[in-house]
């Protein structure tokens, strides 16, 4: 009965079509398109209208301080420990209670994402791969989303990097908007991730010429113009 009640509640909140689509992607077939993005570490970030936030303390993530994730990211504590042990560069922002409210990672070598997508992300000379950036809901829409990345860029520049590369899911509109806000450019490459019956995965890469983000960029400009008026 518990499972049936959960399904009924999900249908009530999201509708039957959305619930069936989610179940299909999770248990039968899922296809994700990851757009490759890049940016140099020296160009200034475009102006934004994000809200300020109360002061936070920044720390490098190590295998010895990952308990700070327990309150807001309890299911990620072991993952944070493993990433730190593998030598990747991680930063977290802590509130007045010592709890992590945001984090982000960077890798200067080819990154094997065994915790989520299950594939390799190659890193070229002078580049680093940015991944895992996340904030708790309280800080959505604040300048922390920018400061978090700028802090990592500074740390990676100190390691000799001059460019950041990452991937962003085509259907993750908030993340795509954040990339536009930060001045990222498309590489014209897509990593396709296929998952069958929730278990088997395969990958392929394709290329494109026309911008995938042009429509979104036009809407952002139109919204900014309307706000200014």
Question: Residue range 173-188: average pLDDT?
Answer: 94
Tokens of 110: 């080819």
Is 85 a member of any domain?
yes
Instruction: Name which of 172, 98, 96, 102 is nearest 138 in CA terms.
Output: 102
pLDDT for position 228: 47
Mean of all residue pLDDT scores within the chain: 88
3-state helix, strand, coil in the chain (%, to 5): 35, 30, 30
Per residue in 107-132, pLDDT (tens digit) is: 999 999 998 899 999 999 999 999 99
In degrees, rounded to 5, the angle at the alpha carbon of residue 89 between the alpha carbons of residues 35 and 72 is 80
Is 19 a member of any domain?
no
Q: Please, what is the end-to-end C-alpha distance for the chain in angstroms?
A: 54
Is 139 a member of any domain?
yes
Tokens of 75: 């299911």
DSSP string, 167-209: EEETT-HHHHHHHHHHT-EEEEEEEEEEEETTTEEEEEEEE-S
pLDDT for position 225: 47
121: CATH: 3.40.630.30
Question: Residue range 164-189: average pLDDT?
Answer: 94
User: 0.95 cut: is pTM over it?
Assistant: no
Is 89 a member of any domain?
yes
Is 154 a member of any domain?
yes
Which residues sit opposite 36 in a β-bridge? Answer: 167
Q: How far apart are CA 170 and CA 212, in angstroms?
A: 8
Is 121 a member of any domain?
yes
Q: Where in the sequence is the domain holding 76, given as residue range(s)?
A: 31-228
Contact by Cβ (8 Å): 91, 152:
yes
Per residue in 41-99, pLDDT (tens digit) is: 999 999 989 999 999 999 999 999 999 999 999 999 999 999 999 999 999 999 999 99
Give how many domains the chain has, as a whole number.
1
Q: How far apart are CA 103 and CA 163, in angstroms?
A: 20
Q: How far apart are CA 101 and CA 103, in angstroms?
A: 7
Question: At 135, which helix (H) or strand (E)?
Answer: strand 127-135
Is 145 a member of any domain?
yes
Is 2 a member of any domain?
no
Question: At 97, which helix (H) or strand (E)?
Answer: none
Confidence of residue 30 (pLDDT cuts 50, 70, 90): confident
Confidence of residue 23 (pLDDT cuts 50, 70, 90): low
Tokens of 219: 């809407």
Question: Residue range 148-170: average pLDDT?
Answer: 97
């Amino acid at each position: 009965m518990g499972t049936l009640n959960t399904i009924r509640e999900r249908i009530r909140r999201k509708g039957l079509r959305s619930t069936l689509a989610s179940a299909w992607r999770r248990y039968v077939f899922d296809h994700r398109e990851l757009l490759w993005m890049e940016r140099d570490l020296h160009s200034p970030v475009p102006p934004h209208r994000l809200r300020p936030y109360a002061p936070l303390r920044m720390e490098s993530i190590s295998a010895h301080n990952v308990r700070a994730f327990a309150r807001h990211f309890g299911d990620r504590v072991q993952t944070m420990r493993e990433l730190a042990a593998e030598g990747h560069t991680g930063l977290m922002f802590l509130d007045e209670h010592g709890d992590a409210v945001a984090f982000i990672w960077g890798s200067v070598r080819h990154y094997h994402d065994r915790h989520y997508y299950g594939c390799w992300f190659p890193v070229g000379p002078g580049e680093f791969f940015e991944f895992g950036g996340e904030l708790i809901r309280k800080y959505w829409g604040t300048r922390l989303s920018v400061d978090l990345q700028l802090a990592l860029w500074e740390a990676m520049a100190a390691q000799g990097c001059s460019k950041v590369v990452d991937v962003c899911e085509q259907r993750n509109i908030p993340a795509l908007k954040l990339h536009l806000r930060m001045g990222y450019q498309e590489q014209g490459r897509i990593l396709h991730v296929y998952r069958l019956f929730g278990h088997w995965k395969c990958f392929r890469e394709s290329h494109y010429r026309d911008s995938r983000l042009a429509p979104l960029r036009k809407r952002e400009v139109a919204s900014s113009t309307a706000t200014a008026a």
